[in-house]
Amino acid sequence: MATLKDRIDIRISKEQKEFIRYASELRGFKNLSEFVVHCINAEANKIVKENELIVETLEDKKIFLEAILNPPAPNSKLKSAQLRYKDFKKSNAI
């Protein structure tokens, strides 16, 4: 059964294309398209894995985003820590 394929069109300079073709040949790919798809997939996997290391689930992402967009008001412990930090900086000023 044939696999349906989609197409991505990009424009690059002749120099870029020749450089990419050269790299493709060095790695032994059959053609330029195979090399480009391989590189795109590798980079996409890397990006997704890095993102998942930070926040794993969709719910985690929603909680994180909510905290960034609507941070809670500072409580007494945070205010106390801020004052201690300011005092520390003053006492250690050069």
Question: Please, are residues 56 and 45 in contact by the beta-carbon 8 Å criterion?
Answer: no
pLDDT digits (tens, 9 = 90+) for 5-27: 888 999 999 999 999 999 999 99
CA angle 15, 13, 27 (to 5 degrees): 55
Residue 76 is predicted with a pLDDT of 95
Which residue, among 34, 30, 31, 36, has the nearest Cα to 16 in the 3D structure?
A: 36
Q: What is the pLDDT of residue 94?
A: 59
Record the tokens describing residue 54, joined without a space.
């930070």
**Residue that is written with structure tokens 């059959």 in the block:** 30
The residue ranges of every structural domain in the chain are 14-91
Contacts of 55 by beta carbon, 8 Å cutoff, 6+ apart: 61, 64
For residues 20 and 36, is the Cβ–Cβ distance under 8 A? yes
d(CA 55, CA 45): 16
Q: Give the pLDDT score at 48.
A: 86
pLDDT in tens, the chain (94 residues): 567 788 899 999 999 999 999 999 999 999 999 999 999 999 999 988 887 776 677 888 888 889 999 999 999 999 999 999 999 999 887 5
